[in-house]
Chain A
Amino acid sequence: MKKFVVLLIFAAAAGLGAFLFLRGDSDEARVKKVIGRFCSMATKREGENPAAGALLISRTDEIFAPEVRIQAARGGFDGSYTPGRLTSELARCRAVFRRVAVRAQDEEISFPEKDKAFVVFSGTLSGDTKTGTSVSEVRDVECSLVRLEGKWKISQLIVHEVLER
């Protein structure tokens, strides 16, 4: 009986390991990882070391295409951006907050063409500004990605209100 239980646990662990290994290698997982990295770049912990923050957002070229189109319902971000300009915009936005958390939830990933991906997700932003105002916002985000030199990179971000009139 004990042998059977040990074998069962071993088989379950092996199955889980294989699942995680195969899942981690899929395009879907890689796309999710890019979205996750974008969120962690925008997230700022309380008392964050400024140098560490600057280092984190200096790597925008690893997740953004050479030209990124942004369209937002509010905020005045509409336009084309290079990764360098995105770094400075991120730095400007992060400087407003004492603490900010950006999360992507309920991602729906599709691959309309070869080397192109389309993700729709619910983006949440919550934090406290340096002036003491609490901010909590939810938006629907449409994100287009292209595969450049084997890596998925964000080429377009369209931000919608959840309830759009």
Chain B
Amino acid sequence: MNEKHGIVYRIFHLHRSDDDTMAASVAEFFVPKFNRWVLLRMLAVAAGALVVFGWLLIPCVIDGESMMPTFPSSGFTFCWTGRYWFSSPRRGDIVVVKYVDKVFFLKRIVGLPGDVVQFRRGRLYVNRVRQREPYVRYVSDWNTKPVIVSPGHCFVVGDNRSQYIERHRFGQIRMSRIVGAPLF
């Protein structure tokens, strides 16, 4: 910047109103002059975002009808990975299950190790006791053989049981596949 521009700049700053000053501060906050501290701040923000959105709150796009009507067929949520740091998964919990790389399943736990899980005419039975499932709204005609949940596993299923049983992915999964729970 030459001397002439410098004078104009100074005059402009002397005569502008409080609103202008505030706007300039905001602009400087978002588009600051590049220096060592700005670089450090950018690195800290990038590292923070990497940790938060890479490990703690994993962004997930919902694509599928298996959890309807609890979750819409398309939408967005975060997987909160800290959900089971200090507790174990329980029956009725909605969990995010890792399938492969960046593909996760959103399912509800209905059986824990040792439980006997069965569907009869669309009704869920755990240890031969019919379960109350207010979150299941659609009519189902599923019939399955009783399954004893293996140690270290849990039985997961979606809330939308109106789908054809062949099309719906459900069954026992390794507990270690549970990544966390949806944030909302």
Give A residues with C-beta under 8 Å from B.
Answer: 105-106, 108, 120, 122, 124, 138, 140, 161-165
With A106-B176, A108-B176: A163-B100 Cβ-Cβ less than 8 Å: no
Q: Are B170 and A163 in contact (CB under 8 A)?
A: yes
Number of interface residues of B (CB under 8 A): 16
| A138 contact from B100, B147, B176, Cβ within 8 A | B100
| B174 contact from A105, A124, A138, A140, Cβ within 8 A | A140
| A163 contact from B101, B144, B171, B176, Cβ within 8 A | B171
Q: Which residues of B contact A165 (CB under 8 A)?
A: 144, 147, 170-172
Q: Provide a sorted-by-A list of 15 A–B residue pairs whose CB atoms are within 8 angstroms.
A: A105-B100, A105-B101, A120-B174, A122-B98, A122-B177, A140-B174, A162-B173, A162-B177, A163-B105, A163-B169, A163-B170, A163-B172, A164-B171, A165-B147, A165-B172
Q: How far is the CA of A105 from the CA of B103 in the complex (A)?
A: 14
Residue B156 at the A interface, CB < 8 A? yes
Question: Which residues of chain B (123-159) have a CB below 8 Å from chain A?
Answer: 144, 147, 156
Q: Which residues of B contact A162 (CB under 8 A)?
A: 99, 173, 177
Number of A-B pairs whose CB atoms are under 8 Å? 34
Q: Smallest Cβ distance from A165 to chain B, in angstroms?
A: 4
Q: Which residue of B lies closest to A142 (CB)?
A: B174
Q: Smallest Cβ distance from B90 to chain A, in angstroms?
A: 19
Q: How far is the CA of A162 from the CA of B98 in the complex (A)?
A: 10
Q: Are A164 and B100 in contact (CB under 8 A)?
A: no
Q: Which residues of B contact A138 (CB under 8 A)?
A: 99-100
**12 extra interchain contacts, Cβ-Cβ under 8 A, other than A106-B176, A124-B101, A165-B172?**
A108-B176, A120-B176, A122-B98, A124-B100, A162-B99, A162-B173, A163-B156, A163-B169, A163-B171, A163-B172, A163-B173, A164-B171
